[in-house]
Structure 1
């Protein structure tokens, strides 16, 4: 196991494109850290720099206190699991699992021991003689994980390892990866574009966009205290409702929008933070679960029901508020039909306010 430390790590391509811009963070010994962001944001580039597959333009990368910027990938003691599995089709499961150990000159009895241990962890003991073509997608992914496990590296690097699986397999493999990490305690860096994977797997999450770190925190802190509009809109399913308007204190605080004025019930902390924003453009963020049908005398806004999505234990109400599409998450009970108008309240202590220009959080 090992610590990993990045200090102002940059990747600049020959054409001037900045793939990663001044990434700085530390990963604790045994931590599972997730890098999450949309396609093209730089998260896989950063993972490949940690693996040594992509040269670092500037900055410092240390593994267990040793600077490894110019160290060859094979000498960094890391193991990477790729999105496409990268299994050898002519080899059996056992041969695929042990191939890297053969290259490192390990004794056959040591290889056999590690292969059988990994196969037991991953429930592949009965498939050791099979070739990849005879395996399911989930089994192939477990072989790819096992090939990294047998190396017993200091750091695991996982690059979107579940993206080729169907929804049910992704769920079971998420549980499997979490279980293995808990058992082995190996420092792990996991890259994904799936915010649900990030929230359920990561002890901490690094949110990336445009090559830059937007926020680093625990999953629930990111959800409840997003640092900016990108994080607020990216994490959460359905996404946070974002309403832009001018903050006015007429007869109590209001968010003045082109088609409506939303009365705001503010906590003392919110009111204090917003005093200097009188007359300014802000964005009000409300999670779907904090936008609830209510009696008209407590309503902040009214919206028309467009689409109802029952998903079992809850219902998503897709609503139209002026020219804005918004979503309310409600319990699975009788709801108004499409086309009806609902009065909606906003949970006071769960409102989020952002600077409309910079996108940074106000309170």
Structure 2
């Protein structure tokens, strides 16, 4: 396996559109790194640049110690798994798995051995004589993974490989990919628009928007300390609640004045206090995750909100609330739920507040 190094990688199309704008980071040897972002953010373009399927406008790309900007895809020692399974319909699973090895001139005994190893790893032994038409979507995707696996490349590149699967198959195949990575210790780059996939699979995540890297970090670091409003609202389901109001002094402390006389008490940590105070008399955006708001009795400093809808989803429920003109969502246990139209009171943990500059979107915590 090998590390992958991107140094100011840039892709500009003939019409002037910038697909990727100065991407710089290193993928460690054996790491599973996820590229995530909305449609058009540049994640697949970046993956295709690593694969050699998209020309690099400027910057440097290294796989291992070798600069590969001008190296053909077949000579980069990478393997790709796409959204479409791209299996040969007239071949059996065993023939699909071994086809690439056959093209490389390996002997039949060696091909059979490597095919059996890959099939055992991906639990495909009982399917080796079937053709793709007789397989489920999840089984076909495992065959596509196995075809990449038998090549033993330096780097695996996976481009939205689970998008064609239903929710149950996505979950089970996601677990298999994570298990496969642990078994192989392989360097993997995984592209997805699904933030759940990103959070559950990635050892680190690169969040992209409009061709630019927004933040790179571990999943929980991104969730608990987003660098800006884009990352804060992209990662997390339901998304982070955002309240915007004017910063002022109240009862000896800072608070956020919302519409209709609603106030949210603020207690920034020592590092953030000076930055938040700079917004005194001005508007500031404050973020709260749905799980950081809790139903409580009425008391000074607590938010009041009207219940719009209740969404029980089994092990938990989501309350959609109107709080001073702001739409917020609260994650609660699925017991003793309030009814639509009821007024509820909310307490919050000030330590879990996020403070954002409403113009630049940056997190004031730094």
Which residue is 1:316 aligned to?
Answer: 318
Deviation at 1:280, TM superposition (A): 2.5
Aligned to 1:161: 161
The correspondence for 1:295, drawn from 279, 285, 297, is 297
Deviations 1:191-221 (A, max 9, x none): 0000000000000000011010000000000
Cα gap change, 1:299 to 1:335, in 2 (>3 Å): farther
**Equivalent residue number for residue 208 of structure 1:** 208
Counterpart in 2 of 1:265? 266
Q: Please report the TM-score for the alignment, with normalisation by the length of structure 1.
A: 0.97
SS of alignment partner, residue 16 of structure 2:
coil
Unaligned runs of 5+ in 2: none
Q: CA deviation at 1:299?
A: 4.5
Task: Compute the displacement of 1:259 (Å).
Answer: 3.5
CA contact (8 A) 1:299 1:344 kept: no
Q: 1:340 to 1:146 in 2, by over 3 A?
A: same
Q: Distance in 2 between matches of 1:343 and 1:258?
A: 16
Kindly tell me: are residues 348 and 312 of structure 1, through their superposed partners in 2, closer, same or farther at Cα, counting changes over 3 Å? same
Task: Tell me by how many angstroms 1:142 deviates.
Answer: 0.3
**1:89, CA displacement in angstroms?**
1.0
When residues 298 and 102 of structure 1 are mapped into structure 2, their CA distance, relative to the original with a 3 A threshold, is: farther
Counterpart mapping for 1:5-44 below 5 A: 5-44=5-44
In structure 2, the residue matched to 1:67 is 67
Cα distance in 2, alignment partners of residues 16 and 191 from structure 1:
24
Q: Assess if the C-alpha contact under 8 Å between 1:12 and 1:19 holds in 2.
A: yes
Q: 1:32 & 1:50 partners in 2: Cα distance?
A: 15
The partner residue of 1:282 within 277, 284, 290 is 284
CA deviation after TM superposition for structure 1 residue 256, in Å: 2.3
Count of residue pairs brought into register by the alignment: 363
Farther-moved stretch of structure 1 (242-251 vs 120-129): 242-251
> How high is the TM-score relative to the length of structure 2?
0.97
Offset, 1:134? 0.8
Residue 249 of structure 1 aligns to a residue whose secondary structure is strand
1-structure distance, mates of 2:300, 2:118? 58
Q: Secondary structure at the match of 1:296?
A: coil
Q: For the residues of structure 2 that align with 1:149 and 1:132, how far apart are their CA atoms?
A: 18
- Unpaired stretches in structure 1, ≥5 consecutive residues: none
- SS class of match (1:360): coil
Q: Distance in 2 between matches of 1:263 and 1:165?
A: 43
- With 324-333 and 38-47 compared, the bigger mean Cα shift is at 324-333
Aligned to 1:329: 331
Listed as ranges, the matches of 1:109-124 within 5 Å are 109-124=109-124
| Aligned equivalent of 1:344 | 346
Query: Aligned with 1:259: secondary structure?
Result: helix
Q: What is the CA distance between 1:298 and its match in structure 2? A: 4.9
Partner of 1:197: 197
In the TM superposition, residue 347 of structure 1 has moved relative to its aligned partner by 1.2
Please give the alpha-carbon distance, in whole angstroms, between the structure 2 residues aligned to 1:259 and 1:182: 53
